[in-house]
Structure 1
Amino acid sequence: MTCLLHISDTHFGTEQPEVVVALLALARDHAPDLLVLSGDVTQRARRRQFRAARDFLEIVPALATMVLPGNHDIPLFNLAARIFAPYRNYQEVLAEPLEAEFESDELLVLGVNSTRPRRHTVGEVSAAQVVRVAERLRQAGDRQLRVVVAHQPVRATRDSDRKNLLRGHEAAVRAWADAGADLILGGHIHLPHLRPLKEVFPDLPRRIWSVLAGTAVSSRVRGDVPNSVNLIHYSSTDDPPCCTVERWDFGPPGRFLLAQRQLLLLQRP
């Protein structure tokens, strides 16, 4: 059995210490094989904020970690840095690739850098990125859970969030579904959801889900939605193939509590 802990939008610089402690406790209780942080690691891409994120990642009880940048991880006010060295602090302090990949016997997780320094908050996936990920998905083993990660979402549940959708997501969703993806993870809007993409792409050849995490530890919660993360459980021996996605919300008495659990039936060629 494999456990993946999906967190997003930590926004270090606005983190709440008690929520950080609770998230570490959740990771300790579940011992994830992989922690995925799907962007907006920091609030303003400052070195001290990246150092705080690095300190957290160094002590989180996970066998492996995978981090992607978000739009907040590019300098906003330092225009020279934004144009000429947008990822310097991210790469020098975190020492993480911009498009990470993780593979085990039961997992294939592919990162897509959807940030664009000249576009500010708007995310984009290029045709080359779509092809690269699709080709890699086709190399997955029959028993691997196939996961793609980008910061901006490919599915909106509110009209007000349509402006936040990943540019180029229509072509990406169709290509990645055809290549065998099971889940597309993201964040950005601080609003967790688990939605079948066939709701908006009825012509997809197979089942594939959009899975968003809320803000993991930041005070920048959205409305009445609390700090929220996801745990994904998968066993390659399950027949029929399936995975379980759990949403965990922070609340009284100062810890993350199970808020939702859903079993997803997977399709294999």
Structure 2
Amino acid sequence: MPEGHTLHRLAKLHHRRFAGSPVEVSSPQGRFASSASLVDGRVLRRAEAHGKHLFHVYGPDATVHVHLGLYGTFDEHVLPATAPVGQVRMRIVGKSHWADLRGPTACEVLTDVEVAAVHARLGPDPLRRDADPDRVFTRISRSRTPIAVLLLDQKVLSGVGNVYRAEVLFRHGVHPLAAGTAIGRELWDLMWADLVFLMRDGVKVGRIDTVRPEHLPEATGRAPRQDRHGGEVYVYRRTGMPCLVCGTPVAMSDLAGRNLYWCPTCQPV
């Protein structure tokens, strides 16, 4: 599932390409047709993201809400538009570009009240200006749930997925099974600032890079990472490989149905 930086990157792209002018919105597949007609021909005011949710705001009581889920994708193209291929849930056509949405978990037109309800059930997003890290710390510091579970709970913190979770815990030497109550305020402030830094970089470059300069291939002479996710990381999907800092084999286990990666030496119990 795409992590939060991907949705914010999409929101910036769609705002730049489509906002400020009338757009054509359709549903070649048909499943979104009646809702598409509510916004077809209207001016897209802005595109924004909150966690893993994308919002195309057209005006009062008309916002297209998209959650990509595991399989959703947007294809982006320069005009002229071509005939739809496959199951296109939503097509948006602007002055210079067009985009096709396929396979989302959610694609719906919401009223302002419904949009507010989506935002209300989501935790603060490190990539949003209105994010409140104090609110996250309050939830974390009162819970004995493992910090690795809390970081993926979108009601606690929005936009962080398995990669950012594994990497921020490594970068701060926190064992993933440590209880939320074990995370002090000073440590949380450092982790939050790091998430903001890493995720903003993800928006900028379009991939997740978490390795500090002194541990990069060009500094250490090791081979670059070969993985379909791209980017240089410390522990994510590096099971059994030597830790880039201490050389200990990276560990992996299952926690709440998600793979957990950590270094037993750098992240002691």
* Common topology (TM > 0.5): no
User: Shorter-chain TM-score category?
Assistant: under 0.3
- Name the TM-score, length of structure 2 as normaliser: 0.27
Counting strand residues as a fraction of each chain, which structure ranks higher?
1
Larger Rg: 2
Name the one with the larger helix percent: 2
- Give the TM-score, by structure 1 length: 0.27
Question: Larger relative contact order (C-alpha < 8 A, sep ≥ 6)?
Answer: 1
